[in-house]
């Protein structure tokens, strides 16, 4: 009979042939998921034979990953700053790089209380959930134009018991929020990939992430520009705006800041890989 180690090695080799990124790590995660054990426990069970029913359970999981379906879709969840977030094709999978956004918000708000923040383009709701759980904001607005994404966000908000803190709205960027509400802070991870880069994306992204959550015009900044325009008269004095962007886009956004005279460009921030990942604005008072 095949052992856990046999199947791990075979699956790893198969994933390599299919050009799956991180083939051994993904094989470990899939086997652990299918066998209902922690990934590290695989090492304690390398010599355990697998039964035919167990192999039958694992085969379709391996086949799905070999077709480049994201691991997070197969398992059904991902971790965002330690919070479990349900994932599927309705919204972009939360990326590890985005997690730093929460720390940037913490640095802007740690001496203030009872603030109203908004997460625009919330997708799975991961950012809003982290803001509410970690920074204890009494109210976080989360908006998305996609009704499907909002249904997923609603499931995640409920799973994290945050219905009283995170309020969901459907609509176009800030237009989705209640009229007259002014914000202390705004965070957003909107689509920022240029249309021309579609074919250069990893298969996991190109084939399985919703295009609505990926692409935004010729240079990737159409939606970000629209959001910045919509911030006029929607932010309180002293408010901040933190946006996730793509490499090099900070230069364009800084050059265009005069288009939003009520905002001041405060600079950019790098992620833990050293890549510029975020830009920051403040209300120009």
* Confidence at residue 188, expressed as pLDDT on a 0 to 100 scale: 97
pTM of structure: 0.93
The whole-number pLDDT of residue 137 equals 86
CA 107-111-117 angle, 5° bins: 65
CA–CA dist 185, 239 (Å, integer): 5
Contacts of 172 (CB under 8 A, 6+ apart): 145
Q: What is the pLDDT of residues 64-111, one digit of tens each?
A: 999 999 999 999 999 999 999 999 999 999 999 999 999 999 998 877
Tokens of 176: 């989705």
**Residue 112 confidence (pLDDT):** 75
List alpha helices for the chain, DSSP H.
Answer: 4-17, 23-34, 52-66, 71-75, 100-109, 126-135, 147-159, 203-208, 222-230, 249-255
pLDDT under 70 in the chain at which residues? none
pLDDT score recorded for residue 138: 86
pLDDT at res. 139: 92
DSSP state of 177: S
């Amino acid at each position: 009979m095949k052992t856990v180690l046999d199947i791990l090695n075979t699956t790893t080799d198969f994933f390599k042939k299919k050009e799956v990124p991180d083939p051994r790590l993904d094989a470990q995660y899939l086997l652990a998921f299918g066998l209902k054990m922690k990934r590290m426990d695989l090492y304690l069970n390398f010599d355990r034979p697998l039964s035919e029913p167990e192999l039958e359970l694992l085969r379709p999981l391996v086949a799905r990953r070999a077709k480049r379906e994201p691991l997070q879709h197969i398992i059904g969840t991902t971790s965002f700053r330690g919070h479990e977030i349900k994932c599927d094709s309705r919204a972009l999978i939360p990326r590890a790089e985005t997690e730093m956004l929460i720390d940037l918000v913490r640095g802007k708000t740690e001496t203030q209380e009872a603030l109203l923040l908004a997460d625009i383009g919330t997708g799975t709701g991961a950012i809003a959930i982290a803001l509410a759980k970690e920074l204890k904001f009494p109210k976080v607005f989360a908006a998305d134009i996609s009704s499907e994404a909002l249904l997923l966000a609603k499931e995640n908000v409920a799973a994290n018991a945050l219905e009283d803190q995170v309020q969901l709205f459907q609509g176009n960027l800030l237009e989705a929020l209640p009229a007259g509400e002014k914000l202390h802070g705004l965070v957003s991870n909107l689509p920022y990939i240029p249309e021309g880069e579609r074919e250069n994306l990893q298969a996991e992204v190109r084939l399985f992430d919703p295009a609505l959550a990926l692409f935004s015009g010729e240079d990737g900044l159409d939606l970000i520009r629209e959001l910045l325009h919509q911030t006029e008269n929607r932010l309180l004095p002293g408010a901040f705006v933190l946006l996730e962007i793509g490499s090099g886009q900070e230069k364009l956004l800084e050059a265009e800041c005069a288009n939003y005279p009520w905002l001041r460009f405060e600079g950019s921030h790098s992620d833990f890989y050293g890549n510029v990942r975020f830009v920051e604005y403040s209300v120009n008072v």
